[in-house]
A and B are shown apart, each in its own frame.
Chain A
Amino acid sequence: MNHTRRNFLKFAGLTAAGLCVASAGGVMAAGAGATYKEGAQALKAKRWGMVIDSKKVGTKEAIDVLAKACHDVHNVPNIPGKQNIMWIWAAGFEQAFDQPNNFMDEGLEKRQFPILCNHCTNAPCVRVCPTQATYKRPDGIVAMDYHRCIGCRYCMAGCPFGARSFNFMEPRLHLDVTKLNKDFPTRMRGVVEKCNFCVERLAQGKQPACVEVSNGAVVYGDLSDPNSEIRKILREHYTIRRKPSLGTEPSVYYII
């Protein structure tokens, strides 16, 4: 009697453990590989980066053009109030660069700067994410898996650039569903999102949306290639990055 009960319990225990492992494995397999299929003409780089010529795109109106292109292509809603979602937007010099100057030249004082995720080399958001929903791609892009994010918002506390937005509410309520870009997913409530450096467009061989509409004011390229156009521009102009002292190594440069 005892023997059979013992054997039964052993069997039941092993089965339960096996089921746990199997289902966990299944979940992990489903979670992995959440990347876009790359076409033959996909743009590739060892480290993607961006240079923004703030002299060419230095007004709120000009930056709104970039923001509209980006937000349209990524189905980013515009939510009135303090719970808005923003991937790219305009900010003044002091807001953007943390370098107060009492006697700034007039042009710079009034100039606006496009602000977006910096795709840092040492990204604090990647470091703090407890589920690897935010992760670093080999090409330097800080990407997100919206299906894995638990919405703890640790990445928002970790990001020193305020680049991240949380879907406090159902984002589709603030989207015109007739004008959605069907090639890019909408998000659900309760997850964080941010600029993705247009990974989905790179995979199709296209430049990022903001670059496309910037008339050359925003240049995108491979920072690791000394012969790339972006490196040429960086060689020829004085550029700065946001909050370099924090050591996150942003990949977005600004021509002042």
Chain B
Amino acid sequence: MLEKALKGSPKYYMWVGFLLLVILGTSGFYIMQLMEGLTITGMSRDVSWGFYIAQFTYLVGLAASGVMIVLPYYFHHYKKFKDLVIFGEFMAIAAVVMCLGFIVVDIGQPQRMLNVVLFPTPNSILFWDMLVLNGYLILNVLVGWTCLEADRQGLPHPKWSHTLAYVSIIWAFSIHTVTAFLYQGLPGRHYWLTAILAARFLASAFCSGPAILLLVIMLTEKVTTFKANVEGLATLAKIITYAMCVNVFFFLLEVFTAFYSGIPGHTHSIVYLFKGVHGHHELVPFMWTAVVLGLGSLCLLIPPKLRDNMKLLPWSLAILVIATWIDKGLGLLIGGFNPTPFETIAPYWPTGKELMISLMIYATGALVVTILFKIATEVKQEIGASQKPAVE
């Protein structure tokens, strides 16, 4: 099926060429980082993880986009998702590829990366995260590719692919839980040291992931003959809405616990993020933007009339994505490291080079999505599944 990615319209070639150029151009910055070290980033002794790990954390959420389609389809036989399943799985592949990319660019000695496998250390959550992420990647490649190939040949899906699909649903929950465990088991990082962090990761993933997926599917509809089942899209929007409500609720639980108890360890990070301390207000505008956009997205998503308006929906989803990105891709990391163990504030801001290297990985992810979605839409076209009505 891979040959389908090689033949396309001039626009397709231009887009792929553009992405390749971006990857090529920005990889120069990665080479610079390899030669000079992570000193080219904005990270410091106190904020020792930065933009890379934050993007990794956010993109683990995108990997979950698939499961919100796969689960209703396989567990509840919700047939309206039939032609969406493959996009969920392919999006998960791209997301995990980006996750792994962000880990690789973050480590100081990437050539020693395999030490994690050579010296397996079960007491380290990073070891488990490596296992679940790679496992999830393999599961989605196997299930997605096999099912698409079977569809193309007009054959029923093999039985083992069903079994693996069930496994991948459970597995999807594990990748968020384990990623949250990376953070929530660390003594002395109060913003992370909370039992609800894993639940927050799941809720945030299950709204932001499908939101990005839905946006990409809408874009796919614009540039291909694919036409998703409208009712299916509406159901997905409903799932996103529920997940976002839960996400906001979980965050408010944190706020209550912190401020009603008044324990400084619990309040400090939240105060730093939303009000600023010791004259540092770096993140305040961002966090309040997240609040406004997050609540705004709920206002646009909860009323069925607004939610089912397919013209408005992309905007509601876009602001939801921005809000959740600020919360998890920015606030979570910087708020976790501040205040520092010395009760001081160490401001962090990514450098231009750091952003360029991140762009390299985002462009790689976009390339993977483009190629996989191209293959999937071509197969759908070939078998006449979920197609736009032919224009006379």
Contacts and interface: CB of A to CB of B under 8 A. Distances in A.
A51 interface: no
A191 B115 CA distance: 13
Contacts of A95: 342-344
B interface SS class: loop
A106 to B, nearest CB: 21
Given A150-B116, A158-B186, A191-B108, A84 B127 contact: no
B122 to A, nearest CB: 10
A247 interface: yes
A: interface residue count bin? 35 or more
A130 to B, nearest CB: 4
Interface stretch (B42-50, B83-91, B94-102, B149-157): B42-50
Contacts of A191: 108-109
Contacts of A161: 188, 341
Interface in A139-189: 148-154, 156-162, 164-170, 188-189
Q: Which of A83, A129, A131 neighbours the largest number of chain B CB atoms within 10 Å of its CB?
A: A131
Nearest to A23: B118
Contact of A166 (B38, B264, B346): B38
Given A28-B119, A150-B112, A191-B108, A128 B37 contact: no
Given A154-B126, A190-B37, A82 B44 contact: yes
Contacts of A94: 343
A151 B108 contact: yes
A236 interface: no
Contacts of A167: 37, 108
Interface string B21-55: 00000000000000011110101111011000000
Contact of B108 (A27, A129, A189, A247): A189
Contacts of A81: 44
B93 to A, nearest CB: 24
B119 A31 contact: yes
A162 B126 contact: no
A100 B343 CA distance: 10
Contacts of B46: 82, 162
Interface string A83-120: 11010000100111010100000000000000000000
Contact of A168 (B43, B106, B112): B43
Given A28-B119, A82-B46, A148 B112 contact: yes
A157 B118 contact: no
A189 B182 CA distance: 24
Contacts of B119: 28, 31, 131-132, 148
Interface in A207-256: 243, 246-248
Contacts of B261: none
A30 to B, nearest CB: 11
Contacts of B45: 82-84, 86, 156, 162, 165-166
Nearest to A25: B118
A28 B118 contact: yes
B342 A166 contact: no
A165 B46 CA distance: 9
Contact of A150 (B49, B113, B182, B188): B113
Nearest to B183: A157
A127 B124 contact: yes
Contacts of A96: 342
Contact of B126 (A130, A192, A243): A130
Interface in B103-123: 103, 106-110, 112-113, 115-116, 118-119, 121, 123
Interface in B254-308: 264
Given A128-B125, A189-B108, A247-B187, 13 more contacts: A82-B45, A83-B43, A128-B124, A152-B106, A152-B107, A153-B49, A154-B182, A157-B337, A162-B46, A166-B48, A168-B38, A168-B39, A168-B41
24 contacts: A82-B44, A91-B342, A128-B126, A130-B115, A148-B112, A148-B119, A149-B109, A150-B112, A150-B116, A151-B38, A152-B106, A152-B126, A153-B106, A157-B337, A160-B341, A162-B45, A167-B37, A168-B39, A169-B37, A169-B39, A170-B37, A189-B37, A192-B108, A243-B188
Interface of A: 24, 27-28, 31, 81-84, 86, 91, 94-96, 98, 100, 124, 127-133, 148-154, 156-162, 164-170, 188-192, 243, 246-248
Interface of B: 36-39, 41, 43-46, 48-49, 103, 106-110, 112-113, 115-116, 118-119, 121, 123-127, 130, 182-183, 185-189, 264, 336-337, 340-344, 346
